[in-house]
Structure 1
Amino acid sequence: MPRTPAELFAFLDALKIDVTTKSHPPLFTVADSQSLRGEIEGGHTKNLFLKDKKGSYFLVTVDEEAEVDLKQIHHLIGAAGRVSFGKPEALMELLGVYPGAVTVFGLINDSAGTVKVVLDSALMQNAVINAHPLTNEATTSIANGDLLKFIAATGHEPLILKVSA
Protein backbone atom coordinates (compact mmCIF):
# COMPACT_ATOMS: atom_id res chain seq x y z
CA MET A 1 0.00 0.00 0.00
CA PRO A 2 1.56 3.34 -1.04
CA ARG A 3 2.23 5.89 1.64
CA THR A 4 -0.09 8.86 2.00
CA PRO A 5 0.92 12.52 2.00
CA ALA A 6 0.36 12.53 5.79
CA GLU A 7 2.82 9.62 6.15
CA LEU A 8 5.30 11.47 3.94
CA PHE A 9 5.05 14.57 6.14
CA ALA A 10 5.51 12.44 9.30
CA PHE A 11 8.62 10.86 7.70
CA LEU A 12 10.02 14.31 6.88
CA ASP A 13 9.21 15.53 10.39
CA ALA A 14 11.02 12.55 11.93
CA LEU A 15 14.07 13.56 9.86
CA LYS A 16 13.76 17.13 11.23
CA ILE A 17 13.14 18.42 7.70
CA ASP A 18 11.01 21.55 7.49
CA VAL A 19 8.78 21.89 4.45
CA THR A 20 5.93 24.14 3.43
CA THR A 21 3.01 22.84 1.42
CA LYS A 22 0.42 24.71 -0.60
CA SER A 23 -2.82 22.99 -1.58
CA HIS A 24 -4.28 23.75 -5.00
CA PRO A 25 -6.55 22.22 -7.65
CA PRO A 26 -5.08 19.10 -9.31
CA LEU A 27 -2.19 19.89 -11.64
CA PHE A 28 -1.43 17.31 -14.33
CA THR A 29 1.16 19.10 -16.46
CA VAL A 30 3.95 21.64 -16.16
CA ALA A 31 1.69 24.07 -18.05
CA ASP A 32 -1.00 23.60 -15.38
CA SER A 33 1.47 24.24 -12.57
CA GLN A 34 2.86 27.40 -14.12
CA SER A 35 -0.35 29.13 -13.12
CA LEU A 36 1.08 29.13 -9.57
CA ARG A 37 4.28 30.99 -10.43
CA GLY A 38 4.78 33.94 -8.16
CA GLU A 39 2.93 32.18 -5.34
CA ILE A 40 5.53 29.46 -4.76
CA GLU A 41 9.21 30.45 -4.91
CA GLY A 42 12.06 28.16 -5.92
CA GLY A 43 12.75 25.58 -8.59
CA HIS A 44 9.76 23.65 -9.85
CA THR A 45 10.24 20.06 -10.94
CA LYS A 46 9.42 17.98 -13.96
CA ASN A 47 9.81 14.23 -13.42
CA LEU A 48 10.49 11.54 -15.98
CA PHE A 49 9.82 7.93 -14.98
CA LEU A 50 11.91 5.92 -17.42
CA LYS A 51 12.68 2.27 -18.12
CA ASP A 52 15.53 0.76 -20.11
CA LYS A 53 15.52 -2.39 -22.24
CA LYS A 54 16.79 -4.54 -19.34
CA GLY A 55 13.92 -3.48 -17.09
CA SER A 56 15.82 -0.98 -14.92
CA TYR A 57 13.84 2.06 -13.78
CA PHE A 58 14.96 5.65 -13.45
CA LEU A 59 13.37 8.75 -11.96
CA VAL A 60 14.91 11.79 -13.61
CA THR A 61 14.02 15.07 -11.88
CA VAL A 62 14.75 18.30 -13.74
CA ASP A 63 13.59 21.92 -13.68
CA GLU A 64 10.14 22.36 -15.21
CA GLU A 65 11.60 24.36 -18.12
CA ALA A 66 14.40 21.88 -18.85
CA GLU A 67 14.66 20.09 -22.14
CA VAL A 68 15.85 16.50 -22.02
CA ASP A 69 17.04 14.53 -25.04
CA LEU A 70 15.35 11.17 -24.49
CA LYS A 71 17.29 9.66 -27.39
CA GLN A 72 20.61 10.39 -25.66
CA ILE A 73 19.89 10.42 -21.92
CA HIS A 74 20.68 6.72 -21.55
CA HIS A 75 24.36 7.55 -22.09
CA LEU A 76 24.28 9.91 -19.11
CA ILE A 77 22.25 7.92 -16.60
CA GLY A 78 23.79 4.50 -17.13
CA ALA A 79 20.79 2.88 -18.76
CA ALA A 80 21.12 -0.25 -20.89
CA GLY A 81 20.27 1.24 -24.26
CA ARG A 82 17.57 3.73 -25.05
CA VAL A 83 14.86 4.44 -22.52
CA SER A 84 11.11 4.74 -22.75
CA PHE A 85 8.52 5.97 -20.29
CA GLY A 86 7.61 3.44 -17.62
CA LYS A 87 4.08 2.10 -17.61
CA PRO A 88 1.53 3.58 -15.18
CA GLU A 89 1.25 0.21 -13.40
CA ALA A 90 4.99 0.18 -12.69
CA LEU A 91 4.84 3.81 -11.58
CA MET A 92 2.15 2.95 -9.04
CA GLU A 93 3.89 -0.23 -7.92
CA LEU A 94 7.31 1.37 -7.45
CA LEU A 95 6.64 5.00 -6.52
CA GLY A 96 3.02 4.83 -5.34
CA VAL A 97 1.81 7.61 -7.63
CA TYR A 98 -0.11 7.91 -10.87
CA PRO A 99 0.79 9.83 -14.05
CA GLY A 100 0.39 13.54 -13.40
CA ALA A 101 1.62 13.18 -9.82
CA VAL A 102 5.14 11.81 -10.45
CA THR A 103 7.45 13.17 -7.80
CA VAL A 104 10.83 12.66 -6.19
CA PHE A 105 8.89 12.17 -2.95
CA GLY A 106 7.62 8.90 -4.46
CA LEU A 107 10.97 7.38 -3.50
CA ILE A 108 9.48 6.88 -0.03
CA ASN A 109 7.46 4.03 -1.58
CA ASP A 110 10.44 2.34 -3.26
CA SER A 111 11.70 0.50 -0.18
CA ALA A 112 13.49 -2.09 -2.34
CA GLY A 113 15.59 0.63 -4.01
CA THR A 114 14.52 -0.46 -7.48
CA VAL A 115 14.41 3.03 -8.96
CA LYS A 116 17.63 4.88 -9.70
CA VAL A 117 17.18 8.60 -9.01
CA VAL A 118 18.86 11.26 -11.13
CA LEU A 119 18.71 14.94 -10.19
CA ASP A 120 19.63 17.49 -12.82
CA SER A 121 22.53 19.65 -11.63
CA ALA A 122 20.79 22.80 -12.91
CA LEU A 123 17.75 22.07 -10.72
CA MET A 124 19.97 21.56 -7.69
CA GLN A 125 21.28 25.14 -8.04
CA ASN A 126 17.96 26.27 -6.52
CA ALA A 127 18.00 26.78 -2.75
CA VAL A 128 14.38 25.59 -2.62
CA ILE A 129 12.90 22.82 -4.74
CA ASN A 130 9.18 22.22 -5.22
CA ALA A 131 7.52 18.87 -5.83
CA HIS A 132 4.16 17.16 -5.39
CA PRO A 133 3.80 15.46 -1.99
CA LEU A 134 2.48 12.16 -3.50
CA THR A 135 -0.57 14.00 -4.85
CA ASN A 136 -0.93 16.57 -7.60
CA GLU A 137 -3.31 18.56 -5.39
CA ALA A 138 -0.46 20.24 -3.49
CA THR A 139 3.10 21.46 -3.89
CA THR A 140 5.72 20.99 -1.20
CA SER A 141 8.79 23.25 -0.94
CA ILE A 142 11.98 21.74 0.49
CA ALA A 143 15.55 23.05 0.81
CA ASN A 144 17.89 21.39 -1.71
CA GLY A 145 20.08 19.92 1.04
CA ASP A 146 17.04 18.56 2.83
CA LEU A 147 15.87 16.95 -0.41
CA LEU A 148 19.19 15.08 -0.53
CA LYS A 149 18.74 14.11 3.13
CA PHE A 150 15.23 12.78 2.35
CA ILE A 151 16.49 10.77 -0.63
CA ALA A 152 19.28 9.22 1.44
CA ALA A 153 16.78 8.33 4.18
CA THR A 154 14.73 6.37 1.62
CA GLY A 155 17.79 4.23 0.88
CA HIS A 156 18.57 5.84 -2.49
CA GLU A 157 21.78 7.48 -3.61
CA PRO A 158 20.99 10.17 -6.15
CA LEU A 159 23.14 10.89 -9.14
CA ILE A 160 23.46 14.62 -9.68
CA LEU A 161 24.18 15.08 -13.36
CA LYS A 162 23.71 17.62 -16.13
CA VAL A 163 20.90 15.91 -18.03
CA SER A 164 19.10 18.97 -19.37
CA ALA A 165 20.03 20.79 -22.56
Structure 2
Amino acid sequence: MAKTEDQLFAFLTGLGIEVSTQRHAPLFTVADSQALRGEIAGGHTKNLFLKDKKDNFFLVTVDEEAEVDLKQIHQLIGASSRVSFGKPEMLMELLGVVPGAVTVFGLINDGENRVKIVLDEALMENSVINAHPLTNEATTSIAATDLIKFIEATGHEPVILKVSA
Protein backbone atom coordinates (compact mmCIF):
# COMPACT_ATOMS: atom_id res chain seq x y z
CA MET A 1 0.00 0.00 0.00
CA ALA A 2 1.34 3.40 -0.99
CA LYS A 3 2.52 5.72 1.74
CA THR A 4 0.53 8.83 2.52
CA GLU A 5 1.77 12.40 2.52
CA ASP A 6 1.77 12.32 6.34
CA GLN A 7 3.90 9.16 6.33
CA LEU A 8 6.34 10.86 3.95
CA PHE A 9 6.63 13.86 6.27
CA ALA A 10 7.13 11.58 9.28
CA PHE A 11 9.90 9.75 7.39
CA LEU A 12 11.60 13.05 6.57
CA THR A 13 11.28 14.23 10.17
CA GLY A 14 12.80 10.94 11.35
CA LEU A 15 15.80 11.67 9.14
CA GLY A 16 16.15 15.14 10.67
CA ILE A 17 15.14 16.77 7.38
CA GLU A 18 13.17 20.00 7.52
CA VAL A 19 10.90 20.85 4.63
CA SER A 20 8.25 23.45 3.93
CA THR A 21 5.06 22.67 2.06
CA GLN A 22 2.64 24.96 0.30
CA ARG A 23 -0.88 23.82 -0.57
CA HIS A 24 -2.44 24.79 -3.90
CA ALA A 25 -4.98 23.69 -6.48
CA PRO A 26 -4.07 20.43 -8.24
CA LEU A 27 -1.27 20.89 -10.78
CA PHE A 28 -1.03 18.45 -13.66
CA THR A 29 1.62 19.99 -15.88
CA VAL A 30 4.73 22.13 -15.66
CA ALA A 31 2.69 24.92 -17.29
CA ASP A 32 0.14 24.69 -14.45
CA SER A 33 2.84 24.90 -11.83
CA GLN A 34 4.59 27.85 -13.43
CA ALA A 35 1.66 29.99 -12.32
CA LEU A 36 3.05 29.64 -8.77
CA ARG A 37 6.47 31.06 -9.62
CA GLY A 38 7.49 33.84 -7.32
CA GLU A 39 5.59 32.25 -4.45
CA ILE A 40 7.89 29.24 -4.10
CA ALA A 41 11.64 29.81 -4.41
CA GLY A 42 14.14 27.23 -5.64
CA GLY A 43 14.43 24.76 -8.50
CA HIS A 44 11.18 23.23 -9.69
CA THR A 45 11.15 19.69 -10.98
CA LYS A 46 9.87 17.87 -14.02
CA ASN A 47 9.80 14.09 -13.58
CA LEU A 48 9.96 11.48 -16.31
CA PHE A 49 8.91 7.93 -15.39
CA LEU A 50 10.56 5.80 -18.05
CA LYS A 51 11.04 2.13 -18.89
CA ASP A 52 13.15 0.18 -21.32
CA LYS A 53 12.29 -2.98 -23.23
CA LYS A 54 13.57 -5.18 -20.37
CA ASP A 55 11.15 -3.54 -17.92
CA ASN A 56 13.86 -1.58 -16.15
CA PHE A 57 12.31 1.56 -14.69
CA PHE A 58 13.85 5.00 -14.33
CA LEU A 59 12.77 8.20 -12.67
CA VAL A 60 14.55 11.10 -14.32
CA THR A 61 14.18 14.34 -12.39
CA VAL A 62 15.19 17.53 -14.16
CA ASP A 63 14.53 21.25 -13.86
CA GLU A 64 11.07 22.17 -15.12
CA GLU A 65 12.59 24.14 -18.02
CA ALA A 66 14.99 21.37 -19.07
CA GLU A 67 14.75 19.75 -22.45
CA VAL A 68 15.47 16.03 -22.55
CA ASP A 69 16.16 14.06 -25.72
CA LEU A 70 14.07 10.93 -25.17
CA LYS A 71 15.60 9.31 -28.26
CA GLN A 72 19.10 9.50 -26.76
CA ILE A 73 18.62 9.47 -22.98
CA HIS A 74 18.81 5.68 -22.77
CA GLN A 75 22.53 5.87 -23.54
CA LEU A 76 23.08 8.23 -20.59
CA ILE A 77 20.99 6.47 -17.95
CA GLY A 78 22.07 2.89 -18.60
CA ALA A 79 18.86 1.60 -20.16
CA SER A 80 19.08 -1.58 -22.22
CA SER A 81 17.18 0.00 -25.12
CA ARG A 82 15.38 3.16 -26.06
CA VAL A 83 12.91 4.21 -23.41
CA SER A 84 9.23 4.99 -23.33
CA PHE A 85 7.00 6.39 -20.64
CA GLY A 86 5.99 3.87 -18.00
CA LYS A 87 2.31 2.97 -17.79
CA PRO A 88 0.16 4.60 -15.07
CA GLU A 89 -0.40 1.19 -13.44
CA MET A 90 3.36 0.70 -12.97
CA LEU A 91 3.73 4.28 -11.76
CA MET A 92 1.19 3.55 -9.03
CA GLU A 93 2.67 0.13 -8.24
CA LEU A 94 6.27 1.33 -7.97
CA LEU A 95 6.05 4.95 -6.82
CA GLY A 96 2.54 5.11 -5.36
CA VAL A 97 1.49 8.13 -7.41
CA VAL A 98 -0.73 8.94 -10.36
CA PRO A 99 0.25 10.79 -13.55
CA GLY A 100 0.46 14.49 -12.77
CA ALA A 101 1.85 13.77 -9.29
CA VAL A 102 5.09 12.06 -10.30
CA THR A 103 7.77 13.00 -7.80
CA VAL A 104 11.16 12.01 -6.47
CA PHE A 105 9.39 11.55 -3.11
CA GLY A 106 7.63 8.53 -4.67
CA LEU A 107 10.84 6.58 -4.05
CA ILE A 108 9.57 6.06 -0.51
CA ASN A 109 7.13 3.55 -2.04
CA ASP A 110 9.73 1.63 -4.06
CA GLY A 111 10.73 -0.82 -1.34
CA GLU A 112 12.09 -3.31 -3.85
CA ASN A 113 14.42 -0.76 -5.45
CA ARG A 114 13.03 -1.33 -8.93
CA VAL A 115 13.34 2.31 -10.01
CA LYS A 116 16.70 3.88 -10.82
CA ILE A 117 16.73 7.56 -9.86
CA VAL A 118 18.59 9.97 -12.13
CA LEU A 119 18.91 13.61 -11.09
CA ASP A 120 19.97 16.17 -13.67
CA GLU A 121 23.13 17.93 -12.56
CA ALA A 122 21.71 21.33 -13.58
CA LEU A 123 18.78 20.81 -11.19
CA MET A 124 21.14 19.89 -8.38
CA GLU A 125 22.88 23.27 -8.68
CA ASN A 126 19.87 24.73 -6.82
CA SER A 127 20.20 24.93 -3.05
CA VAL A 128 16.45 24.25 -2.70
CA ILE A 129 14.46 21.80 -4.83
CA ASN A 130 10.67 21.68 -5.04
CA ALA A 131 8.62 18.56 -5.64
CA HIS A 132 5.14 17.22 -5.02
CA PRO A 133 4.78 15.37 -1.67
CA LEU A 134 2.99 12.35 -3.26
CA THR A 135 0.09 14.62 -4.27
CA ASN A 136 -0.16 17.31 -6.91
CA GLU A 137 -2.12 19.51 -4.49
CA ALA A 138 1.03 20.70 -2.71
CA THR A 139 4.65 21.56 -3.32
CA THR A 140 7.36 20.67 -0.83
CA SER A 141 10.68 22.53 -0.71
CA ILE A 142 13.74 20.56 0.42
CA ALA A 143 17.45 21.40 0.51
CA ALA A 144 19.31 19.68 -2.32
CA THR A 145 21.64 17.97 0.16
CA ASP A 146 18.63 16.70 2.12
CA LEU A 147 17.06 15.39 -1.07
CA ILE A 148 20.12 13.20 -1.57
CA LYS A 149 19.89 12.10 2.08
CA PHE A 150 16.19 11.19 1.56
CA ILE A 151 16.92 9.20 -1.61
CA GLU A 152 19.71 7.25 0.07
CA ALA A 153 17.47 6.57 3.09
CA THR A 154 14.93 4.91 0.77
CA GLY A 155 17.66 2.47 -0.32
CA HIS A 156 18.24 4.10 -3.71
CA GLU A 157 21.53 5.34 -5.07
CA PRO A 158 21.02 8.75 -6.66
CA VAL A 159 22.79 9.13 -9.98
CA ILE A 160 23.59 12.72 -10.92
CA LEU A 161 24.12 13.16 -14.66
CA LYS A 162 23.87 15.85 -17.28
CA VAL A 163 20.68 14.68 -19.00
CA SER A 164 19.22 18.01 -20.10
CA ALA A 165 20.21 19.90 -23.22
Aligned to 1:76: 76
Residue by residue over 1:67-125, the C-alpha shift from the partner in whole angstroms, topping out at 9 and shown as x without a partner, is 00000000000001100000000000000000000000000000100000000000000
Partner secondary structure for residue 45 of structure 1: strand
Q: Is 1:41 aligned to 2:37, yes or no?
A: no
Q: Which runs of 5+ in 1 are unaligned?
A: none
Tell me the TM-score normalized by structure 2.
Answer: 1.00
Aligned to 1:90: 90
**How well do the aligned residues superpose, as a CA RMSD in angstroms?**
0.2
Aligned to 2:156: 156
Aligned to 1:111: 111
C-alpha displacement at 1:132, in angstroms? Answer: 0.0
Aligned to 1:121: 121
Aligned to 2:6: 6
Q: Which runs of 5+ in 2 are unaligned?
A: none
CA distance in 2, matches of 1:126, 1:73: 22
Aligned AA (2:120): D
CA distance in 2, matches of 1:73, 1:110: 22
CA distance in 2, matches of 1:159, 1:39: 29
Aligned AA (1:102): V
Moved over 2 A (4+): none
Aligned AA (1:163): V
Aligned to 1:60: 60
Partner secondary structure for residue 36 of structure 1: coil
Residue by residue over 1:26-59, the C-alpha shift from the partner in whole angstroms, topping out at 9 and shown as x without a partner, is 0000000000000000000000000001110000
Aligned AA (1:89): E
Question: How much identity, in percent, do the aligned residues show?
Answer: 78
Tell me the TM-score normalized by structure 1.
Answer: 1.00
CA distance in 2, matches of 1:108, 1:81: 26
